[in-house]
Structures are given as C-alpha cells and as structure tokens.
C-alpha cells in the first residue's frame, strides 16, 4: 500500500500544469496592463487626450467583463485544453491587430477582441487550476496564476513601457504576440488532456447558474469589483501622476511600474500562503491596507519618494488580497467552477472598467491626479464595508457551502462535498 495518497502528494507540490497556466497569464497580464506605461506615446501617436487613451484600458476590461461568462458558458462542454489553445491563438492575433492598427478605433477594437480571449482563458484556466488541487490548496493554486499577473507587472509591463519609449508603442504589442505564442506551446505540451463528460456528470449550464441566487455570491463579487476598481483607478494613471505631479522624468515610469510589480508578487505569495486558513482576514486586511495606501498617496503625491514608495505598497496590498478573493468564490460555488471563475473574472474587470473611467472623469473635471487616488480610496473603503457584511453573513450561515451542482443532485453523495474542517475561516 502506498505511503501517501494522491491528495497528500498534491498538498506537498503544485502540479506543473498550474505553473504553465501561470506562465500563460504572464502574457495576458502584460497586454492588459502595459498601456499604463504607454498612455503618453499612444495619445501622441493617435492624436487623442490621455483620458481618451486611458479608455483603451477600460476597453480591455469591458471585453473581460463580457467575455468571461459568455465564453465560459459557450465552452462548458468543450475539452478544456483545446479551449485554452484556441483562446491563446485568438489573443495573439488580437495583439498583432493592435500592433498594426492605423487608427484609435481599430486599436480600441483589437483591445476588446484580445480581452474576450483573455477572459475566456482566465475562466477556463482557473477552473483547470483548482481542479488539479485539493480544496485546501485552492488559494495556493490561484496564487500561482495571479503570480503570473504579478510577474507581468514586474517584468512585462515595465519592459513594455521601456520598449515603447525606445522602439515605439507598437513594438510592445509585437512582443506580447510573441509571448502568447510561447504560452500556446506550453499549454500544448504540458496541460493534460481532459475528456468532456457525457453521462450524468456532464456540466449543465442551468444548474451552474444557480450560484447567482445566493447573496454571498453577490457580496463576494462586489468585494472583488471594488478592490480591483480601487487599485486600477489609480494604477491606470500612475505614469502621468509620477511625471506631472511627483516631478519624475518619464524614464522613471518603467522602474516605478516594476516596483509596483515587485510589491504585487510579494503580496501574491504571502496572501496565497495564508488565505486558505484565514480567508476573510486576508480579504479584510488587504482591502483596508489598500484604502490607507491610496489615501496616503493622495496626500503626498507631490513627493517623488512618497509616490514611489506607496506605488510599491499598493502593489503589495492589492495582490495580497487576490488569491483570497478568488478562493472565496470557488468555495461558494464549488460545483460550478467554470462559471465561478468566469464570474469573478468579470467582477474584477468591472472594477477595472469603472475605476479607470472614474479616474478619467476626475481628471476631465480638473480635480487633478491626487483626486484620482482619493477616488480609489473611496472605492476601497466601500470594499471594506462589503467584506465585513460578507463575513457576518458567512458566520451566520455556519460557514461556506456548495451552492450549485452542474450535475443532477442524485449523482452526488452527501460526503462528496468538502468538509467544514477543510473550509477556510
């Protein structure tokens, strides 16, 4: 008899396929956020204002909002590995279209198309990641995927900004197209094949849609949206804030973006380690800390030292929370993993849409870049209240539970649900 079970082995090491998904997310995340360091050259080249150029970030987020649930539903009964391959291919083509875009409108459209593919990959990839680990390692698995996003902020986004400054912003799009090709090779080679269930255990969209009947789901989604909106309200305009308010030279922007990414990676690693055991503590602590950091940045934005330091801290606090926000949604909708991942992706990108839009509105009103930080702090503060409400409801309900099942109830034995002891507090 073997000395350890497959579940015990999974607890000691993360499957290689999860790291492959994290590497693919690196390419997606680089494309999603690199425009934060390219707003000024894009605006000059396309003949638009910086807030208008900032809408390209919102365009990507809008595509993610729409694409995640739609593509998750459309591909529910398709082989997940094949779906991931197709989505990465479409994403790469979208990057090529952006690199060749002759006008702002075409660039905008290419961002939406790329975002649709990115959203689908996130939704399906997250479902694959959590399916490969036990329930008490979900936050760690999601931390690996979110870690790809963090590394994108450390390396991809600053490199895109640097490349854009020296070779033109279009070169950054070509580079991401190459990264997506590498990600595609990794998925083909290392993500395991999966057969689509055809019997009673096949996924059923109507059954998975039951997750939307529960208040805990909506509170979890609100916390995700507010947390994302708070951070990216400011992050989308971090470059202009650093140059126009803090007085840094434009050449400093890639370095500060890299520091944000360093903070993000550190936050992801630490948050992923503790979130499985202290889910609400991680959520509440991270969002509260983001509120404080954004408020401090609003007060000290004219100081270059303070702005740089707080940018690093904002990366840490924002991504410290991310594994917990994802794991919370998967715990609530354990038997509807594809829609759970898709819905949380949409919520995050609703925040990414509304946050930059509100930031641009504040700038257009003439209130200045420090007011953008205040707007982010207000969003984060609301996220704190939402998290407190979710925590109270969670405790009143006696802990997390499985809300939906994508297969008939008769096919699930009572002991197939995760035990309360394995659920995070």
- pLDDT recorded at residue 404: 42
Q: How many C-beta atoms lie closer than 10 Å to residue 11's C-beta?
A: 15
3-state secondary structure of 278: coil
Task: Work out the pLDDT band at 379, boundaries 50, 70, 90.
Answer: very high
The whole-angstrom distance between residue 165's C-alpha and the CA centroid of its chain comes to 26
The whole-angstrom distance between residue 343's C-alpha and the CA centroid of its chain comes to 12
d(CA 350, CA 77): 26
Pick from 155, 153, 121: nearest CA to 338: 121
d(CA 362, CA 133): 44
Pick from 224, 349, 226, 347: nearest CA to 294: 226
3-state secondary structure of 335: strand
pLDDT score of 291 more than 90: yes
Domain membership flag for residue 285: yes
Domain membership flag for residue 414: no
Average of per-residue pLDDT across 225-247:
87
Please answer whether residues 67 and 353 qualify as being in contact, where contact means their C-beta atoms are separated by less than 8 angstroms: no
d(CA 66, CA 284): 28
d(CA 104, CA 256): 27
Domain range for residue 261? 13-193+202-408
Task: Work out the pLDDT band at 318, boundaries 50, 70, 90.
Answer: confident
Token readout for 380 is: 């984060």
> What residues pair up with 335 in beta bridges, in sequence order?
405
- pLDDT recorded at residue 409: 34
Average of per-residue pLDDT across 151-155:
73
pLDDT score of 422 more than 70: no
Average of per-residue pLDDT across 189-215:
67
Average of per-residue pLDDT across 222-229:
90
Average of per-residue pLDDT across 135-159:
74
Please answer whether residues 98 and 110 qualify as being in contact, where contact means their C-beta atoms are separated by less than 8 angstroms: yes
Task: Provide the CATH number for the domain around residue 347.
Answer: 1.20.1250.20
Query: How far apart, in Å, are the Cα atoms of 397 and each of 25, 74, 185, 212?
Result: 35, 33, 45, 17
DSSP 195-242: PPP-STTS--HHHHGGGGG-HHHHHHHHHHHHHHHHHHHHHTTHHHII
Domain membership flag for residue 4: no
Cβ contacts of 160-164, under 8 Å, gap ≥ 24: 160/30, 160/34, 160/37, 160/38, 161/34, 161/36, 161/37, 161/38, 161/239, 161/253, 161/254, 161/257, 162/254, 164/34, 164/37, 164/38, 164/41
Domain membership flag for residue 322: yes
Pick from 72, 148, 108, 152: nearest CA to 343: 72
| Torsion over CA: 201, 417, 339, 236 (sign) | negative
- Domain count of the chain? 1
**Helix extents (H) in 301-336:** 304-332
Domain membership flag for residue 256: yes
Domain membership flag for residue 149: yes
Q: Is 398 exposed, middle or buried (CB count within 10 Å of its CB: 0-12, 13-18, 19+)? A: exposed
3-state secondary structure of 405: strand
């Amino acid at each position: 008899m073997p000395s350890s079970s497959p579940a015990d082995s999974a607890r000691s090491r993360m499957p290689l396929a999860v790291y492959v998904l994290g590497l693919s997310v690196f390419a997606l995340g680089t494309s999603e956020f690199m425009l934060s360091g390219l707003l000024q050259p894009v605006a000059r080249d396309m003949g638009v204002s910086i807030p208008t150029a900032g809408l390209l970030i919102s365009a990507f987020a809008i595509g993610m909002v729409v694409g995640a649930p739609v593509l998750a539903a459309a591909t529910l009964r398709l082989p997940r590995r094949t779906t991931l391959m197709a989505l990465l291919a479409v994403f790469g083509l979208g990057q090529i279209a952006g690199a060749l875009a002759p006008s702002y409108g075409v660039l905008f459209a290419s961002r939406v198309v790329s975002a649709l593919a990115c959203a689908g990959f996130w939704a399906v990839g997250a479902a694959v990641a959590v399916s490969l680990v036990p329930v008490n390692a979900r936050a760690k698995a999601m931390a690996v995927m979110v870690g790809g996003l963090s590394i994108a902020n450390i390396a991809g986004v600053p490199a895109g900004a640097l490349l854009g400054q020296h070779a033109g912003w279009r070169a950054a799009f070509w580079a991401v197209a190459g990264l997506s090709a590498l990600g595609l090779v990794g998925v083909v080679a290392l993500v395991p094949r999966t057969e689509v269930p055809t019997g009673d255990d096949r996924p059923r969209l109507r059954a998975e849609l039951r997750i939307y009947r529960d208040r805990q789901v909506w509170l979890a989604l609100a916390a995700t949206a507010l947390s994302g909106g708070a951070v990216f309200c400011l992050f989308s305009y971090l470059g202009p804030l650093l140059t126009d308010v803090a007085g840094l030279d434009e050449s400093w922007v890639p370095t500060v973006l890299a520091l944000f990414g360093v903070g993000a990676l550190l936050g992801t690693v630490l948050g992923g380690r503790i979130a499985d055991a202290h889910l609400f503590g991680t959520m509440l602590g991270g969002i509260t800390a983001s509120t404080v950091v954004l408020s401090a940045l609003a007060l000290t934005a004219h100081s270059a030292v303070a702005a740089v330091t707080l940018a690093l801290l904002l990366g840490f606090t924002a991504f410290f929370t991310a594994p917990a926000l994802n794991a919370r949604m998967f715990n609530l909708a354990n038997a509807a993993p594809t829609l759970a991942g898709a819905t949380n992706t949409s919520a995050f990108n609703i925040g990414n849409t509304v946050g930059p839009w509100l930031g641009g509105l504040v700038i257009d009103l003439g209130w200045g870049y420090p007011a953008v930080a205040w707007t982010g702090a207000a969003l984060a503060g609301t996220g704190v209240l939402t998290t407190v409400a979710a925590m109270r409801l969670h405790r009143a309900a006696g802990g997390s539970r499985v809300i939906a099942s994508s297969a008939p109830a008769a096919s699930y034995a009572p002991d197939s649900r995760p035990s309360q002891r394995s659920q995070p507090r």
